[in-house]
Amino acid sequence: MTTKQQPLLEVNNLKQHFFLKKEKLFGPQQVVKAVDGVSFEILPGETLSIVGESGCGKSTTGRSILRLDEPTAGEVLLFGKNLVNMNKKELRAARKDIQIIFQDPYASLNPRRTIRKMLMEAMSIQKIVPPEQQEARMIELMSLVGLRPEYLERYPHEFSGGQRQRIGIARALAVNPKIIICDESVSALDVSIQAQILNLLKQLQKDLDLTFLFISHDLSVVRHISDRIMVMYLGKVVEIADKHSLFSQPHHPYTKALFSSIPVIDKHHRKERIILKGDLPSPLNPPTGCSFHTRCPFATDKCKAEVPALREISATHKVACHFAENLV
Amino acid sequence: MKQETVLEVKDLQTYFYSSEGVAKAVDGVSFTLQKGETLGIVGESGCGKSMTSLSLLRLVPSPPGKIIYGEILLNNTDILKLSDEELRKIRGNKISMIFQEPMTSLNPVLSVGEQIAESIRLHQGLSRKEAWQKAVDMIRLVGIPAPEKRAKQEPYQLSGGMRQRIMIAMALACTPDVLIADEPTTALDVTIQAQIIDIIQNLQKQLGMSIIFITHDLGVVAEICDKIAVMYAGQVVEEGTTESLFEKPLHPYTNGLIQSLPKLYEDQEELSTIHGTVPSPYNYPIGCRYAERCPFTTDLCREKQPELLTVEPEKKVRCWMYSNEWQGETHMKEMTV
């Protein structure tokens, strides 16, 4: 990936602000800036992961890209076309190329439809498979995700959690997408099943040339599946880098604390744990300057006053911290 | 240091009765817990780990659930033989519990200070004022800033991490001998999880209690437990010290579980998996419950259920491979955790 490739997906200054109901008629408008100026690009065939803790805006970013929540501002360029200013019809056509798999396969499958109906619906909305080939395509999809073709006639409740997640994947694949957003897609699964699904995703990526935007809070899963990783905190990107560089040399104090908090089995790899003080600040009233300064062990007056820009410290590594160089 | 057994569980069986039949959620679980020791119980969903912990406090919802057999000896008193009143004196006093989701275990309309003070008043007979003071002290002890102010607040005004600390404060208010922590950090973010684990470990040192830590997260148990019991399909399949379990897992299931975790310090093309799924608790196979998924299965495994064998002092495993009757392959995949 050294030559400059055309990105498949490019997100520029994406913002997702939620306006809350006013408490008083003439009171101030309260705004939650769930995603606040996020930019990144994904190259064809790569896996970019977004990590961060609850409320950091990682899932909202995924949803805004697909316009499941209408973004407040920003651009989402898929193959150079901006999804944000498309009309409904154009957007529907564009969604053929970009699909999403959710965390909870129980909640995202219609309990009253058989698997056959679900796959059929996806294919007929996008009109990509001629009717006479649909049957063969469904059987192909089932085998791709490792389910038996006779399961097509079954309902979601007849499957285990891991199998349901496979159905979610088959449904996303039904329209031949180029990029799939996986929003905590393996978080609800037991480790042995999680391993099966992760292997499946990697295999599919190879076989079908897929690109993934992988959203997760589980750092070892992210380490396994990604090429590059983006760390978010309170709606902003604090660090983005290729995974080896990020894991071997995290620069942002938040990334460091996050990595040091992961419980590890092998005691030879245990790092000195950095225990952060306090909780995540309220997104209704985010701190001034660097939003991490309230919990950062290295915060200075500059951090309280100035918002640090996301800047390049090497060709593959960007970080938003005033003192990134001094903290390594 | 002389070992002193605080809790001993013998052959515990908790079954659930429904129209579908009898689900053997806990099926013959035994373990001991020494003073000051931390025991981890790990396993995947449905293995019976939470039902084991609920059984210890006799909190199994009944009906449909019922503890049908076994002994739970807390300081040599069998909890299963206590009257309701005697049981109340022990719960929250000698043995207490924290759960995964603090919001569902806290009373939403009472201040948290009052909720902590209540158990102090009941168990220690302190006055309202003294109990309140002690509650505030407990809130300070679990590292919540401005405890006087926080004690007056209601659960919804606190963050998830703070609520879990309140639960810990409540559970520890009467300095119990045994704390049962059932997935206490599962709903929390890793940085908050690190804080909570730190607090539990510090308090354990100060108060000298024993802990049973129930979780599906192998990383967490590796860091905090002295010994570990691995459960599968209602039974303990392996038990040993934390070090031995991770360095040399004996049971193929334990090995499979450890191998299927993505590694943090190594690139892997493919993760190893355990194929198949857990058998239904309504219909366990007659032989080994793991036989269907095990790469080493022989006819013996399918026909007869293995006992929990003691292979070394402090090391037990429920697998035919370690018995004299074994005739299959003995080579287990080398561990590289």
Structure tokens at B40: 């981890």
pLDDT at residue A3 tops 60: no
Chain B nearest CA to A226, separation (Å)? 11
Query: Contacts of residue A49 in chain B, CB cutoff 8 Å?
Result: none
Name every residue whose Cβ is closer than 8 Å to that of residue B201 and which is 6 or more positions away in sequence.
B224
Q: Is B194 within 8 Å of A265 when comparing Cβ atoms?
A: no
Query: Contacts of residue B44 in chain A, CB cutoff 8 Å?
Result: 190-192
Least CB-CB distance to A195: which of B159, B193, B272?
A: B272
CA dihedral B77, B78, B84, B88 (to 10 degrees): 50
Q: What is the pLDDT of residues A162-172, one digit of tens each?
A: 888 899 999 99
User: What pLDDT score was predicted for residue A269?
Assistant: 76
Share of chain A above pLDDT 70, in %: 98
Q: What is the DSSP letter of A84?
A: T
* Crossing angle of helices A161-173 and A131-144, rounded to 10°: 140
Query: Three-state SS for B84?
Result: helix
Query: Contacts of residue B43 in chain A, CB cutoff 8 Å?
Result: none
User: What pLDDT score was predicted for residue B264?
Assistant: 82
User: What pLDDT score was predicted for residue A213?
Assistant: 96
**In this structure, which amino acid lies at residue B22?**
V
Name every residue whose Cβ is closer than 8 Å to that of residue A327 and which is 6 or more positions away in sequence.
A251, A253, A256, A298, A321
pLDDT at residue B261 tops 50: yes
Mean pLDDT of A125-145: 87
Q: Whole-angstrom Cα distance, residue A133 to residue A304?
A: 61
pLDDT at residue A325 tops 90: no
Mean pLDDT of A216-226: 92
User: By the CB < 8 Å criterion, does B264 face chain A?
Assistant: yes
pLDDT at residue B135 tops 50: yes
User: What pLDDT score was predicted for residue B2?
Assistant: 58
Higher confidence at residue B276 or residue B233? B233
Q: What is the pLDDT of residues A21-41, one digit of tens each?
A: 877 778 788 888 899 999 999
Q: Whole-angstrom Cα distance, residue B202 to residue B179?
A: 14
Q: What is the DSSP letter of B28?
A: E
Min mean pLDDT across A69-73, A281-285, B35-39, B165-169 is at A281-285
- The pLDDT confidence band at residue B334, using thresholds 50, 70 and 90, is very low
- The pLDDT confidence band at residue B30, using thresholds 50, 70 and 90, is very high
Q: Is A195 within 8 Å of B198 when comparing Cβ atoms?
A: no
Range list of β-strands (E), B35-150: 38-42, 65-74, 77-78, 95-98
Q: Whole-angstrom Cα distance, residue B99 to residue A159?
A: 28
Least CB-CB distance to A190: which of B44, B159, B268?
A: B44
**From residue A220, how far is each of A10, A142, B140, B285, B336 by CA, in Å?**
26, 28, 34, 34, 16
User: What pLDDT score was predicted for residue B333?
Assistant: 44
Instruction: Return the residue of A nearest to B158 by Cα.
Output: A279
Query: Contacts of residue B268 in chain A, CB cutoff 8 Å?
Result: 224
Q: Whole-angstrom Cα distance, residue A169 to residue B199?
A: 40
Higher confidence at residue A215 or residue B158? A215
Query: Contacts of residue B252 in chain A, CB cutoff 8 Å?
Result: none
pLDDT at residue B220 tops 50: yes
Quickly count helices (H) and strands (E) in chain B.
12, 12
Q: What is the pLDDT of residues A61-71, one digit of tens each?
A: 999 999 998 99
User: What pLDDT score was predicted for residue A79?
Assistant: 92
- The pLDDT confidence band at residue B337, using thresholds 50, 70 and 90, is very low
CB A167 within 8 A of CB A145: yes
Mean pLDDT of B58-86: 91
User: What pLDDT score was predicted for residue A199?
Assistant: 92
Mean pLDDT of A270-275: 80
Interface confidence: ipTM more than 0.85: no
pLDDT at residue B6 tops 70: yes
Q: Whole-angstrom Cα distance, residue B6 to residue A190?
A: 32
Taking Cα atoms as reference points, which of A224, A218, A108 lies closest to residue A172? Answer: A108
Least CB-CB distance to B246: which of A192, A195, A265?
A: A265
pLDDT at residue B258 tops 50: yes
pLDDT at residue A2 tops 70: no
The answer for B 33-52 residues in CB contact with A (under 8 A) is 44-45
pLDDT at residue B102 tops 80: no
pLDDT at residue B54 tops 50: yes
pLDDT at residue A225 tops 80: yes
Q: Whole-angstrom Cα distance, residue A312 to residue B8?
A: 58
The answer for B 220-249 residues in CB contact with A (under 8 A) is 220, 222-223, 246
CB B102 within 8 A of CB B182: no
Across chain B, mean pLDDT equals: 89
Q: What is the pLDDT of residues B109-133, one digit of tens each?
A: 999 999 999 989 988 889 999 999 9
pLDDT at residue B335 tops 60: no
Q: Is B261 within 8 Å of A191 when comparing Cβ atoms?
A: yes
- Concatenating the DSSP letter of every residue in B234-288 gives TEEEEEEEHHHHHHS--SHHHHHHHHTSPPSSS--SS-----S-PPPTTS--SS-
Q: Is B218 within 8 Å of A265 when comparing Cβ atoms?
A: yes
* Crossing angle of helices B112-124 and B128-141, rounded to 10°: 120
Query: What are φ and ψ of residue B35, in 5° steps?
Result: -65, 130
Q: Is B191 within 8 Å of A261 when comparing Cβ atoms?
A: yes
Structure tokens at B5: 């057994």
User: What pLDDT score was predicted for residue B336?
Assistant: 34
> Vertex A241, ends A238 and A246: CA angle to 5°?
90
Query: Contacts of residue A204 in chain B, CB cutoff 8 Å?
Result: none
Q: What is the pLDDT of residues B266-307, one digit of tens each?
A: 888 888 888 877 888 888 999 999 999 998 999 999 999 999
pLDDT at residue B310 tops 70: yes
Query: Contacts of residue A160 in chain B, CB cutoff 8 Å?
Result: 277
Instruction: Return the residue of B nearest to A273 by Cα.
Output: B194
Q: Whole-angstrom Cα distance, residue B47 to residue B238?
A: 13
Query: Contacts of residue B273 in chain A, CB cutoff 8 Å?
Result: 192, 195-196, 199
Taking Cα atoms as reference points, which of A62, A174, A158 lies closest to residue A118? Answer: A174
pLDDT at residue A77 tops 80: yes
Q: Whole-angstrom Cα distance, residue B144 to residue B37?
A: 26
Min mean pLDDT across A310-319, B165-174, B271-280, B327-336 is at B327-336
User: What pLDDT score was predicted for residue A4?
Assistant: 66
Taking Cα atoms as reference points, which of A193, A222, A199 lies closest to residue A105? Answer: A193
Least CB-CB distance to A269: which of B44, B220, B265?
A: B265
Taking Cα atoms as reference points, which of B139, B155, B171, B142 lies closest to residue B103? Answer: B155
Instruction: Return the residue of A nearest to B265 by Cα.
Output: A269
Q: Is A217 within 8 Å of B277 when comparing Cβ atoms?
A: no
- Strand-strand pairing, B235-241 and B315-317: antiparallel
Tokens 């007869």, located at residue: B304
Structure tokens at B108: 């939403």
Q: Which of B199, B264, B280 to mutate to test the interface with A (most CBs of A within 10 A)?
A: B264
CB A166 within 8 A of CB A200: yes
Structure tokens at A278: 């306090």
Q: Which of A49, A229, A264 to mutate to test the interface with B (most CBs of B within 10 A)?
A: A264
Q: Is A280 within 8 Å of B223 when comparing Cβ atoms?
A: no
